[in-house]
Structure 1
């Protein structure tokens, strides 16, 4: 039996806390990645990248505070993250932003699955939706179709 699952298979706060830590890790990566996204965009097109960066920083900070309330350490930031491909154009930047949003969506879905407290579940639903809204804009900017994902955060 896993340490964080009760004998009856019901998830507990340990499972939820582990999933919260995974979301923090995904949010750290998104914040780092949006620096690259913004740098690859023309100056007059950086608004959505700056807004996404701020959104990810804000939610990451909320999660860190929530973990601190639980007496749990957040996942620390890495000094850098490997990019999945070279970012050499605005289209590459938009594609990277899609990858970042899909990454946080997967972490939010896991938290949604593992959450036991209603406020945590509500946060996961809200942030999953926000990530998909941002991803729609970036998919459009990258020329990807369809621009929406009917089941964001789940394997395609």
Structure 2
């Protein structure tokens, strides 16, 4: 088993050039295990959480259908987002007895009397994301990971529909609640990932012109520094020695100009979504929200840099559904 820091660097596409202190840990299931079946007698304890998430998603699907049925609807924008939301519902409903799940909403046959707006739909996406985050503590780890991923996708939908990006959430800051020792390797892995991302953003900023892109890179560089500091403080509070940064990292591809710099930024943020999706499952409930917010923020930054979108940020598609392509 590889030490977490090196596994994190490999996940980020950055290989350590100078050795850093590492901490052993438990490997994450490479298959994701996002959809566990009911392996024992009796009902799945996750079913109440799943049913709440399905209900929230059905409300969202109905809103998409209503807006799509209005004259002049932005079909090219709305249909891919609606298709991704349908994939979320299918993943959330997987394994739940069919009799417990209401039929999925369909396209309405009549035009509603009041015309909804993309702004109202964006607000509903945000509300749905918040409802998923609120249930993180009630879900078992694999479902918590899925909820965090779907919440990140909903946040991205909201910004695509014109809502401003979510602001930092002080309530999501990691707190020094009692943490089982098994969670420490996962926290060290997240810290190592932030060390690698900070190094990568140093390279990104050096190859961008003095324009809005470089300003954005500075902002995101500072955000990763703040996230690094938060994990360091938490680890110190828990009596662990934070993993230090390595002396250098090998980039996944040469960075020689602005296009390759933005490509690297997109690569770093996309790889971090995987780290944070795994972290949601690895951490106990007091810290899941902090990891889920980090997943959301990396998802939005990856999209900003032009990374391809996915219905499930940070995890492979949990069901064999077709890939949805939508404009960035």
Shorter-normalised TM-score: what interval? 0.7 to 0.9
**Normalized against structure 2, the TM-score is what?**
0.41
Question: What does residue 138 of structure 1 align with?
Answer: 305
Q: Secondary structure at the match of 1:46?
A: helix
- Counterpart check, 1:152 vs 2:313: yes
- Counterpart check, 1:21 vs 2:182: no
Q: Secondary structure at the match of 1:43?
A: coil
Q: Secondary structure at the match of 2:311?
A: coil
Question: Contact (CA 8 Å) 1:132, 1:149: kept in 2 or not?
Answer: no
Q: Secondary structure at the match of 2:249?
A: coil
- Distance in 1 (CA, whole Å) between partners of 2:238 and 2:252 is 34
Shift of 1:117: 3.1
- Distance in 2 (CA, whole Å) between partners of 1:149 and 1:93 is 22
Q: Secondary structure at the match of 2:250?
A: coil
Question: What does residue 295 of structure 2 align with?
Answer: 128
CA RMSD for the aligned pairs? Answer: 2.0
Shift of 1:29: 0.4
Question: What does residue 71 of structure 1 align with?
Answer: 239
Between Structure 1 and Structure 2, whose CA radius of gyration is higher? 2
Shift of 1:104: 1.7
Question: Contact (CA 8 Å) 1:108, 1:128: kept in 2 or not?
Answer: yes
- Distance in 1 (CA, whole Å) between partners of 2:316 and 2:219 is 26
Among residues 203, 224, 240, which one is paired with 1:56 in the alignment? 224
Question: What does residue 167 of structure 2 align with?
Answer: none
Moved segments of 4+, more than 3 Å: none
Shift of 1:16: 1.6
Superposition pairs for residues 90-109 of structure 1, below 5 Å?
A: 90-109=258-277
Shift of 1:53: 0.4
Shift of 1:153: 1.6
Shift of 1:50: 0.3
Question: Contact (CA 8 Å) 1:19, 1:107: kept in 2 or not?
Answer: no
- Distance in 2 (CA, whole Å) between partners of 1:28 and 1:129 is 19
Shift of 1:54: 0.2
* Number of aligned residues: 142
Shift of 1:91: 1.2
- Distance in 2 (CA, whole Å) between partners of 1:106 and 1:72 is 24
Among residues 87, 96, 99, which one is paired with 2:255 in the alignment? 87
Shift of 1:155: 4.0
Shift of 1:73: 1.3
Question: Contact (CA 8 Å) 1:104, 1:131: kept in 2 or not?
Answer: yes
